[in-house]
Amino acid sequence: MLYTFSFYEKRQIMPIADAIAEEFLDLMTHDATFIAYITSTTDKTDRVFYRAETWRQRLQQLVASPEPRRFSRALKQQWYDAAPTCGICGQHIRGLDDAEADHILHYWRGGPTLPDNGRLVHRYCNHARGGHA
């Protein structure tokens, strides 16, 4: 996976480092095929290719994006420090990596990536929410 970074210059990667970390966490928690391919029989060629290609596509999309789709990790940390509570289910969030910074009005529906349109939620709750509400 580190190989994919060799296609970009440092100036392209550093400004989106938080988004890259969040994208990787999303991949590791929401892509069932990726999860299966890193937990069993990891040496099969098709599985290695899937993992590498899936990550390469996600990274390419982040680098090519003209505007941020994800909130910064610093903002996510700020929200967590202030109130580690899920904005969807209302329950306590145990750790920062168990949380996502979520758009209240979905990004794909035109919701801006601004603090006023964001909230802290469990990764699970956000994934279960999908395109609803």
Could you tell me the CATH number of the domain that includes residue 97? 1.10.30.50
Q: Are residues 52 and 15 in the same domain?
A: yes
Residues 6+ apart with CB under 8 A from 58: 23, 27
pTM summary value = 0.59
Q: What is the pLDDT of residue 132?
A: 47
Q: Print the domain residue range for 104.
A: 73-129
Of 20, 75, 94, nearest to 10 by C-alpha is 20
Q: Are residues 54 and 84 in the same domain?
A: no
Looking at 19, 42, 64, the residue that finishes a domain is 64
Q: Are residues 42 and 17 in the same domain?
A: yes
Looking at 30, 46, 64, the residue that finishes a domain is 64
Q: Are residues 60 and 88 in the same domain?
A: no
Name the DSSP letter for residue 16.
G
Q: What is the pLDDT of residue 130?
A: 67
Q: Are residues 47 and 86 in the same domain?
A: no
Q: What is the pLDDT of residue 91?
A: 97
Q: Are residues 13 and 52 in the same domain?
A: yes
Q: What is the pLDDT of residue 67?
A: 64
Q: Are residues 16 and 59 in the same domain?
A: yes
Q: What is the pLDDT of residue 19?
A: 81
Q: What is the pLDDT of residue 18?
A: 81
Rounded percentage of the chain residues whose pLDDT exceeds 90:
53
Q: Are residues 84 and 107 in the same domain?
A: yes
Looking at 64, 90, 113, the residue that finishes a domain is 64
- Please state, in angstroms and rounded to a whole number, the distance separating the CA atoms of residues 59 and 17: 11
- Average pLDDT of the residues of the chain: 88
Total domains in the fold of the chain: 2
